[in-house]
Amino acid sequence: METSDEKLVIAMPKGRIFNESLQLFRQAGYPVSEEMMEGSRKLIVEVPEESLSFLLVKPMDVPTYVEHGVADLGVAGKDVLMEENREVYEILDLKISACRISVAGMSDWKPVLNPKVATKYPRIADRYFREKGQQVEVVRLNGSVELAPIIGLADRIVDIVSTGRTLQENGLVELEKIASITSRLIANRSSYRLKSGWMDRLCERLDGLVNGRGNVV
């Protein structure tokens, strides 16, 4: 499936990295409308002046829209890319929403045989412990993962740590860092060829902004 030749379609992640992503496009000179900034319920937002169309989707779904070609580009956290492992090109590190994905446990944790690991990232957790040669049982959750070791659902968690507040306020400590995370601009493989001029211009503007190289608009 391909998007129309007339415009670029960009999948944007709703949620915690949305505002930072939007801000970046605005700073790069794209007149992103107020309706996107102010919590509207619209899921498709057009920017006709720039022939852009934004799809507002769940962060974990961004690579799916891009892989299937219903979006030419997308903004996705490296955590999502590591978990989803989709056939897309990662074309620019946007250097926003920096955080890390780590293993954490209760401050008084003790090693146990075949520990249970609660996480929203079952593939990342599975791969990490397999590469370390440790056998674990992964318990998949959709959020509030820090609760799991407190109430005995899991011995450890694999989750995003940003400020560290959630861990701290729940009596957990970070044990091992798995990877540093930032948001990336990703592209559909055929759009990248077919709309290369267009994408290059957008990429140049964002790259100039992100890496501080002069004028971006």
Q: Where does this chain bind ligand PRP (CB under 6 A)?
A: 16, 143-146, 159-166
Put residue 39 in one of left, alpha, beta given phi > 0 → left and psi -120 to 50 → alpha: left
Question: Minimum Å distance from CB 179 to ligand PRP?
Answer: 14
Residue 160 or 203: the one with the smaller Cβ distance to ligand PRP is 160
CB of 157 to ligand PRP, least distance (A): 9
Task: Tell the smallest beta-carbon distance from residue 80 to ligand PRP (Å).
Answer: 12
Which residue in 1, 29, 5, 34 sits closest to 19, CA to CA? 34
First-last CA distance in the chain: 31
- Give the nearer residue to ligand PRP in terms of CB position, either 99 or 206: 99
Phi, psi of 92 (to 5 degrees): -155, 135
How far is the CA of 128 from the CAs of 80, 118, 144, in angstroms?
Answer: 15, 13, 21
What is the number of the residue whose Cβ is closest to ligand PRP?
143
Cβ atoms of 49 and 31 closer than 8 Å:
yes
Strand partners, 104: 157, 174
Nearer to ligand PRP, 89 or 109 (CB): 109
The nearest distance, CB 147 to ligand PRP, in angstroms, is: 9
Nearer to ligand PRP by Cβ, of 33 and 166: the residue is 166
H helix runs in 28-180, sequence order: 34-37, 62-67, 78-84, 122-131, 147-150, 165-169
Report the length, in residues, of the chain: 217
**Shortest approach of ligand PRP to residue 26 CB, angstroms?**
23
> Among residues 135 and 180, whose Cβ is nearest to ligand PRP?
180
What's the min distance (Å) between Cβ of 115 and ligand PRP? 19
Q: Please identify, using beta-carbon distances, which residue of 72 and 159 lies nearer to ligand PRP.
A: 159
**What span, in angstroms and rounded, lies between the C-alpha atoms of 203 and 197?**
10
